[in-house]
Chains A and B, each alone.
Chain A
Amino acid sequence: MSAAAALGEDLATYNFAYLDEQTKRMIRRAILKAIAIPGYQVPFASREMPMPYGWGTGGVQVTASIIGPQDVLKVIDQGADDTTNAVSIRAFFQKVASVAVTTKTREATIIQTRHRIPEEKLQAGQVLVYQVPIPEPLRFLEPRETETRKMHALEEYGLMHVKLYEDIARHGHIATTYAYPVLVAGRYVMDPSPTPKFDNPKMDMSDALQLFGAGREKRIYAIPPHTRVVSLDFEDHPFEIQTFDEPCALCGAEGVYLDEVILDDRGGRMFVCSDTDHCEDRRAAGHRGRLSPDEAYAGHGQVQEDTGR
């Protein structure tokens, strides 16, 4: 049959950005509602994606629904542009949407992220899309969905402080370091996805639009630009972000979030920027850290031995 033959020829092509147009409309409606009610989890009919749950199916669906041919996409995983998840999702959108991709934060119009917010301040017009595993901040304290929805509806958030109380009682300080709960626009308590609490202040009054997609849990939520985002705390135990004892070993940056990298089996390690684009930018601008290769060649101390400390 000629129809079958025609179908056969078209089989290799996808609809723009993989999802069909009706699905994108459904997701866009959920996104609009989420933006209208900052921090509120909007249910949506999450689709099967060609990747397992937990790999960013929610974020990919949000990105697929908002991306256009003119967009420039950046994908990061734990701050890095070059890890498996980031590379795969970037390649996916290159294939199904033929969009331009970049690793530069300031060039991107859409940044899909897993577990980090870029160090560079985001601009108006940029969209940050988070991949969210568990959108419900109250989930581990109250397992019933019917009850947590009621608690959100009635603004009963005492339980969230019970968790922080437990932290202080057990550890002497608030030991929650990631997925640190925030109050959005003075109304909804929200899980910022498993970003380190270091990134929480960046969400507050951001110029960029922040969208959150949870594929398995079928929820979308959002923080519109210029929205107040406050991390929960106690008066006598105020919210604090992580600090690091040493600067990045490659670019010397301070006041950024660092990853620990194990160098050998004798305790050698270094701390480097988790945001690879930020680190590369700084190195290109001439900044140097303790373990920068050119510095080692220049003979500033014996680097290999140093790492054993």
Chain B
Amino acid sequence: MMRLQEMPLLSVEGLSRYYGERVGCRDVSFEVYPGEVLAIVGESGSGKTTLLNCISTRLEPSTGSVSYRMRDGAMRDLYRMSEAERRLLMRTDWGFVHQNPADGLRMTVSAGANVGERLMAVGERHYGRIRDTATHWLSRVEIAEDRIDDQPRAFSGGMRQRLQIARNLVTGPRLVFMDEPTGGLDVSVQARLLDLLRGLVNDLGLAAIVVTHDLAVARLLSHRMIVMKDGRVVEEGLTDRVLDDPQAPYTQLLVSSILQV
């Protein structure tokens, strides 16, 4: 019998999404294994975000299926689950890190409450314990403890992004979706954030699906990558292989377009 670690955590089969006549993404299939980081790269408009939204139940696909291995080991089709089950999954077993932290945070409540919200949503009713956990997670993402009662409005872009990560990881998810997690940050802040993400993913054994147009981010974070163009997957493979020895003409173009400093 196969061990749970060797079986896919998420499985996407023949997934397509149309916006009327237009194609968001077409016939995409792939699998993600526990502890694996998968990068989805491609230019703007290539269908990366549509794909991410479809597999994270934020957007219903036109055809195809997305299945997820629940904690009991059973593989379930996400779009055959009830909405209540999907939403419970989203706030316990999954995380979603938005490009713009304002989309993923409650900007008008304190950092502590932002981190504690998921705990309260799954029934934690002890203020002291919630606060201890929040403090622990803030220090884990390098936010000073005395900022726990500040609102994210008072935070810099990099701090907001780190707070968003803490908010997502507090329930110990097994799969995290990230949409351009380093977008809009300057390079030194990007570097620290990537370092932090890499550490967390390693320590927690998270699986992650990272959408990015930045090949350097994909190189640093991911084990495997998918290259998309016009809604289709044009190449798929180990990150180092794809970047060092691109096969598809579009991937070759993409890799050769990286600016050298």
Contacts and interface: CB of A to CB of B under 8 A. Distances in A.
Interface of A: 141, 150, 154, 156, 158-159, 161-162, 165-166, 168-170, 233-237
Interface in B107-148: 109-110, 112-113, 116-118, 120-122, 125-128, 130-131, 148
B112 A235 contact: no
B149 A169 contact: yes
24 contacts: A150-B83, A154-B83, A154-B84, A158-B117, A158-B120, A158-B121, A159-B117, A159-B120, A159-B121, A161-B120, A161-B125, A162-B106, A162-B116, A162-B120, A165-B112, A165-B113, A165-B116, A165-B120, A166-B109, A169-B110, A233-B125, A234-B126, A235-B126, A235-B127
Given A154-B87, A165-B112, A170 B106 contact: no
A277 to B, nearest CB: 38
A235 B125 CA distance: 6
Contacts of B87: 154, 156
A43 to B, nearest CB: 21
Q: Interface size bucket, B side?
A: 20 to 34
A150 B121 CA distance: 14
Contacts of B121: 156, 158-159
B114 to A, nearest CB: 8
Interface of B: 83-84, 87, 106, 109-110, 112-113, 116-118, 120-122, 125-128, 130-131, 148-149
A168 B148 CA distance: 13
A81 B116 CA distance: 44
Contacts of B120: 158-159, 161-162, 165
Contact of A168 (B83, B106, B127): B127
Given A235-B125, A235-B126, A170 B113 contact: no
Contacts of A165: 112-113, 116, 120, 127, 130
Contacts of A170: 110, 149
A25 to B, nearest CB: 34
Given A150-B83, A165-B120, 13 more contacts: A154-B87, A159-B117, A161-B120, A162-B116, A162-B117, A165-B112, A165-B127, A169-B113, A169-B149, A170-B110, A170-B149, A235-B126, A235-B127
B124 to A, nearest CB: 8
A235 to B, nearest CB: 5
A161 B119 CA distance: 10
A165 to B, nearest CB: 5
B127 A234 contact: yes
Contacts of A168: 127
A158 B113 contact: no
Contacts of A141: 106, 109
A234 B131 CA distance: 12
**Nearest 9 pairs of A and B residues by beta carbon:** A158-B121, A161-B120, A158-B120, A234-B127, A235-B126, A154-B84, A165-B113, A162-B113, A169-B149
A158 B116 CA distance: 9
Nearest to B85: A154
A156 B84 CA distance: 9
B217 to A, nearest CB: 32
Contacts of B118: 158
Contacts of A150: 83
A169 B112 contact: yes
A161 B118 CA distance: 11
Contacts of B149: 169-170
- Output the residue of B118, B122, B126, B127 with the most chain A CB within 10 A: B127
A166 B130 CA distance: 12
A211 B79 CA distance: 39
B211 to A, nearest CB: 24
- Output the residue of A141, A154, A169 with the most chain B CB within 10 A: A169
A222 B185 CA distance: 51
Contacts of B83: 150, 154
